[in-house]
Each structure stands twice: as C-alpha cells, then as structure tokens.
Amino acid sequence: STHAHEERSLHFYNADHDRALAQRQRLEEDLRGALAAGQLSLAYQPLVRVSDRTPSGVEALLRWTHPTLGAIGPVEFIPMMEELGLIHEIGEWVLNEACAQAVRWQQSGLVLTEMAVNVSGLQLADPGFASRVSRALAQSELPPQKLVLELTESVLVHDNDAAMAQLSALKALGLRLALDDFGTGFSSLMSIARFPFDIVKLDRSFVQAAPSTRAAAAIVEAIMALATRLGMETVAEGIETEEQLQYIAALGCHLAQGYLFARPCSAEELTVLYPAHPPQ
Ligand code: C2E
Ligand code: MG
Ligand code: MG
Ligand code: MG
C-alpha cells in the first residue's frame, strides 16, 4: 500500500539525515584541528594589468586538504569556520602567512604591487581586528600600501557605523580596501561612495555574462562608470575568454583575474609562472 511505501521512504530519509548529520559533525571536528595539523594552505591567483597583461599582484585563497576527503573548497568550509568561531584565529593565520609570503617574494626580486587577502564580516566586526592587521604588517615588515583587504558588500548592511569606524581604522594603517564580488549583494551603489574603498572588484557572474547579456552589460557599465568617476581602481573577476577581456578593456578596467591568465596555484608554482625581475 501507499502507506507502507511512505513509512519506508521516511525510514530511509531518517537514515540519510542521520548520516549527513554525523558526516557534518565529523567535518566540523576535523576543521577544528585542521590548522594545527598543517592541512590549511594558501593558493595565490595572479591579478593581471589589462593594458599589457603583466602581473600586478595576487589574491590569497584559503585551501583545506582533508586527510581522507581531499581538497574541500572555501565556499564549503569558510561558513563552517564562521559558525564554529574559528574564523578569527584562522583569518589571522591567513593574514600573517600572506604578508610573510609577499615579503619572501619581494626579497627574491618578484615585484608585487598588491597582496590581496579576503576578510570575513565576522573578522571585521571584531573590535581587535585593526590591531591584528597592524601586528601582521609590523611582524612581516610588508609595506602597508602593498596589502589589500577584500570585503564583500554584506559587511556593510549590518551595522553601518561600526563598519565605517573599522574601515577607517584599517585605512589609517596605510593599506587599501577592495569591495569584493560587487553587484551581488544587497547594498546600493551608494556604498561604493560612502565607505572608504579604493578598489572595486566586479563579480564574475556579471563579467562573464556581460558580452552577451544586455542586463549584465548594463550593470557592469554602470559600476565601471561610477568607479571610474570616483577615481577607484577596478578589477574584473573570472575572466576566462578573450572576448570577456576585450569587453572589460574597452570599459577601461585596470586589472583582471581569471582562468584566462592563471588558476590559483601554490607559492612555488607562482614563482615559476612569474620569474623575478632584477631589482631596480
Ligand atoms: P573570491 O574572493 O571572490 O575569490 C575568487 C574566487 O573565484 C576563487 O574561488 C577563485 O578560484 C575563483 N576564480 C578565479 N578566477 C576564476 C575564473 O576564471 N573562473 C571561475 N569559475 N572561477 C574563478 P575560491 O578559491 O573557491 O574561493 C571562493 C571564495 O571563498 C572567495 O571568493 C572568498 O569569498 C572565499 N575565501 C577564500 N579564501 C578566503 C579566506 O582566506 N578568508 C575568507 N574570509 N574568505 C575566503
Ligand atoms: Mg576575494
Ligand atoms: Mg571576489
Ligand atoms: Mg567572487
């Protein structure tokens, strides 16, 4: 009967549910120990000048290599780190590691204009965050203007005044701020102008759709016009084709990032990709 069938599927559902829950709890336990176990690393993706395709800097992207499950993507584990309260400690490790790597490259003669580091809204909300950043800069001796902190629009919607105070404190350290994934969040175009951002990163979804989709093109062109008018630097994310590159070049976009140039790679691979320039 249908009734029996329903009972059976309900039973299966519960078993699946239990298994998924147990798996998630295991993953959370593993994540708590991931930093100490040396399973976290940074991948670096080049930012390329649109005008001549030369490397400008890199974005640091967190990677987790699980001992049995292999590579797990940040889209999956960053929210978990936030829920577990691990984001502060691990975020600080990311910052220190990225600054130290930038200095190592600089010492080997590889000229970087920027080392971009992603920052979660929870990190920004921590009143001690600016002093953590200040410490990372002092310990690594990275010139502050080389550091770019990438934040998404979502950090601006919760508490405008607190966010403004934190962003001002960060700016006072001499670093630069980038508005990441711009166009995907809930804030208005005014957030570009109201907060002290130096750089706008156009989200990959619009950049990729723009050459063939009128609505995406309208959004990209409006953001480009506003950012250019405000004297901000612009970065196009997710450039995979020549057509996309030509499109953003025609709009005067400064930097581009995407598989057309390079995928995120290890520090060693990046050193090979971009051989050192002789110090000038
Ligand atoms: P994001 O900051 O917008 O980083 C760019 C993402 O786009 C990266 O994904 C990168 O691998 C991917 N990407 C770059 N070029 C292309 C392309 O041409 N095509 C496609 N399809 N994708 C491209 P990833 O490494 O998986 O990171 C995802 C997100 O996780 C990041 O997005 C960022 O929001 C977050 N994230 C990564 N590392 C950190 C971190 O250390 N701290 C925090 N708070 N968030 C991080
Ligand atoms: Mg980013
Ligand atoms: Mg982004
Ligand atoms: Mg993105």
For the stretch 242-255, pLDDT in tens is 999 999 999 999 99
Q: Write out the two tokens for 86.
A: 């691990």
Decide: 71 and 64 in contact? Cβ < 8 Å.
yes
Parts of the chain with a pLDDT under 50? 1-2, 278-280
Q: CA end-to-end span of the chain, whole Å? A: 82
Q: Mapped to the 3 state alphabet, what secondary structure does 112-138 carry?
A: CCEEEEECCHHHHHCCCHHHHHHHHHH
Which residues, judged by CB distance below 6 Å to any ligand atom, belong to the binding site of ligand 1?
Answer: 45, 61-62, 73-75, 78, 94, 118-120, 150, 180-181, 204, 237-240, 257-259, 264
According to the model, what pLDDT value does residue 9 have?
59
According to the model, what pLDDT value does residue 154 have?
81
According to the model, what pLDDT value does residue 161 have?
86
Q: Report the DSSP pairing between strands 55-66 and 70-72.
A: antiparallel
Mutation test of ligand 1: which of 58, 120, 202, 237 has the most ligand atoms closer than 8 Å to its C-beta?
Answer: 237
What is the C-alpha separation between 44 and 269, in angstroms, rounded?
Answer: 9
What is the C-alpha separation between 156 and 178, in angstroms, rounded?
Answer: 13
